[in-house]
Chains A and B, each alone.
Chain A
Amino acid sequence: MKKIILYAAVLFSAVSCKVESGESGYLTSGQLQSYASDIVYVVVEDMRILNLLIDIDEYLSMTQEEQKDSPFYGLLMHEDGETLVMDLGAMDKTVFRTGGKSINGTGAVWTVENYPGGRSYYSSGVCASVECTGTDKWSMNTVDDGQGIEMRFDIQKTGSTDTGRAFSMTFSGTETDGNYRSEFRNEDGACSYLYQGEQLTGTFAGSLIIDIYENGTRKDWCRVTCNEDWSIVMETSRD
């Protein structure tokens, strides 16, 4: 019986012909770099949440006449005294809960639900909790359930001009996807972010390291260094 199977296998191998070329699916340095770029994008998008809350806080402190000139006028709606909603293009409206306090007041906690950030189209919306921990200082936690990404930030505003706001931040986060888990954090000191308004991405500078694990065993890593001139240097375990 074994001989028959062996002869059959030899026969099939001899007469078989290739009908479809295989995928080029071997994990490359380029794919790891692409993944790392996505994580940087998540960091930047989460920082934009804080800036949106600061902008909303400024809008709420304006007089009614001043609010009419604001882009939030007619878009940001009160549901009750401490809850606002706005359509930002997510599947559901984005909900902001202020706790009745200014985002700049120490101890104030604002929460956000269904913010249309995240890494990709597959994101189901980001939830965030932002606490003011001091003058121009905040801690922020974000969760993207659809992507399994959680992040934590400690942020300090370092400057403010007519064109934007500058921040210094440290952060860490994880992504969990089945048996795989990635852990990422800033490296070699705090990173910086320059927010230049809702229409621009802003400028991120600093280094972060990403470690990827399968069932607790480290498999790959990637180190990203973003410079203020927009140049990026990447190293991966697959170089």
Chain B
Amino acid sequence: MKVSLTVMPVTSAGRCILTFVLMLFTCVTSIYGQDKERVHEPVTFKYEVRAGWGGFPFVDRSIMVTDNSEIVPPDGSLSSLYRDYNGDTYMTGVFSAEFSFNFRKWFSLALGVDCDGIYTRRYSADTGHKTGTDRRAVLTFLPQARFSYLNREYVKLYSSIGLGYSFGTSYGDSVLFPSVQLTPIGVTAGKKVFGFFEIGVGTLYIGCMAGAGFRF
């Protein structure tokens, strides 16, 4: 199967993302390096893993889903009368998995992988029976810088910003586009095992995400 790759205009955006990631790592290493000289309040849990589900992925929807009203109607030819047609299109929402490094009580770096599934059943115009399913997916790699401004033993409030890339497959084609996600407000509840809920806006989703995690 021949697969072509479409790279959305990313030249300047790509440089932005690379710069952001380099800055993050520079901050991280400098903060870590400074650890040896300064005395900081110890971080209770150095690492965190979390998994969640959220939506709505508007950008994935606009890039990866065909608007059926724009499909050219049959042109009167025989084959167009009998072409397969699309059924309803569904999206799974964004499934997220993240690993965080907690450098400070107020700052952590999260490396996340997100997946959004899209599927459309196809039907025969002749019999009305299902002839197959078109399956697509968008995979996003999204490093995020997370800033906590309320740190209690069992409750944290935070905001985060992330820059990364999304890779989508669709109808034999692939598309690569930059990903930006801003979380103005998020909350975790729990100490070692926690639940989280956050409201976000960006290419990953516009809406909210919830899930659970584990600190160690």
Contacts and interface: CB of A to CB of B under 8 A. Distances in A.
Given A23-B68, A27-B81, A182-B78, A17 B88 contact: no
B89 A31 contact: no
Nearest to A41: B76
Interface string B66-110: 111001001111110111111111111100000000000000000
A218 to B, nearest CB: 12
Contacts of B195: none
Contacts, number: 96
B126 A35 contact: no
B78 A27 contact: no
Contact of A20 (B68, B85, B93, B123): B68
A69 B6 CA distance: 61
A205 to B, nearest CB: 23
B78 to A, nearest CB: 4
Interface in A94-147: 119-120, 122, 147
Interface stretch (A46-54, A70-78, A173-181): A173-181
Contacts of B55: 17
A180 B88 contact: no
B46 interface: no
B56 to A, nearest CB: 8
Interface in A162-192: 175, 177-182
Contacts of B82: 27, 180, 214, 219
Contact of A16 (B81, B85, B91, B128): B91
A201 B148 CA distance: 77
A19 interface: yes
B128 to A, nearest CB: 5
A19 B93 contact: no
A237 to B, nearest CB: 11
B197 interface: no
A18 interface: yes
Interface residues of B, number: 36
A19 B78 contact: no
Given A15-B53, A19-B65, A20-B68, A25 B123 contact: yes
Interface residues of A, number: 34
Nearest to A120: B76
Nearest to B121: A22
B212 interface: no
A148 B76 CA distance: 12
A36 to B, nearest CB: 11
B117 interface: yes
Given A22-B89, A31-B81, A34-B76, 12 more contacts: A12-B92, A12-B117, A16-B93, A17-B90, A18-B89, A22-B87, A23-B86, A23-B87, A25-B125, A27-B126, A180-B79, A212-B78
23 contacts: A12-B92, A15-B92, A16-B91, A17-B93, A18-B89, A19-B118, A20-B67, A20-B89, A21-B68, A21-B88, A22-B89, A22-B120, A23-B87, A24-B85, A25-B85, A27-B81, A32-B81, A35-B78, A119-B76, A120-B75, A122-B75, A175-B77, A178-B78
